[in-house]
A and B are shown apart, each in its own frame.
Chain A
Amino acid sequence: MIETYYRILRHDPGGRLVSDTGLIPSHSYVIQFLEIFDAIWNRTDKNATDVDGAETRMITTAIALSNQGRVDAGVGADTYGLVVGTNAGTTAEDNENYSLDTKILHSGIGDAGKLNYQALTFVAPHVDAPNVDFHLSRAFLNETGVGITVKEIGLIIKNATSTTYHMILRDVVADELVGDDETLTVIYTLRTTV
Chain B
Amino acid sequence: MKEKKANGIQLLLRAVVTDPDGKVVSDTGQKPARSFLIQFLEFIFAMFDGAWKYATATNGGEDPIGSDGFSVNRQLRIDGQINESWKGIVVGTGDTAETNEDYTLETQLTEGVGAGNITHGVQNIGSAAVVGPNVDIELKRAFTNNTGSTITVEETGVYVTINGDYHCIIRDTLTAPVPAMYSLTIYYTIRTTV
Contacts and interface: CB of A to CB of B under 8 A. Distances in A.
Interface of A: 1-5, 24-31, 33-43, 59-72, 93-97, 122, 124-125, 127, 130-132, 134, 136, 157, 172-174, 190-194
B113 interface: no
A25 B3 contact: yes
B79 A194 contact: no
Interface string B44-70: 111111110100000000000011111
Nearest to A94: B194
B72 A25 contact: no
B193 interface: yes
Nearest to A171: B194
A134 B127 contact: no
A2 B192 CA distance: 10
B4 interface: yes
Nearest to A24: B3
Interface of B: 1, 3-11, 32-38, 40-42, 44-51, 53, 66-73, 75-79, 97-101, 125, 127-128, 130, 133-137, 139, 190, 192-194
13 contacts: A1-B32, A1-B33, A2-B11, A27-B5, A34-B190, A34-B192, A41-B139, A69-B50, A71-B49, A130-B100, A132-B100, A132-B101, A192-B35
Contacts of A70: 47-50
A125 B41 contact: yes
A37 B190 contact: yes
B32 A62 contact: no
Nearest to A123: B45
Contact of A95 (B37, B44, B134): B134
| Most A C-beta atoms less than 10 A away, residue of B34, B40, B72, B134 | B72
Contacts of B32: 1
Which of A37, A94, A130 has the largest number of chain B CB atoms within 10 A?
A: A37
Nearest to A130: B100
Contacts of A173: 1
Contacts of B139: 41
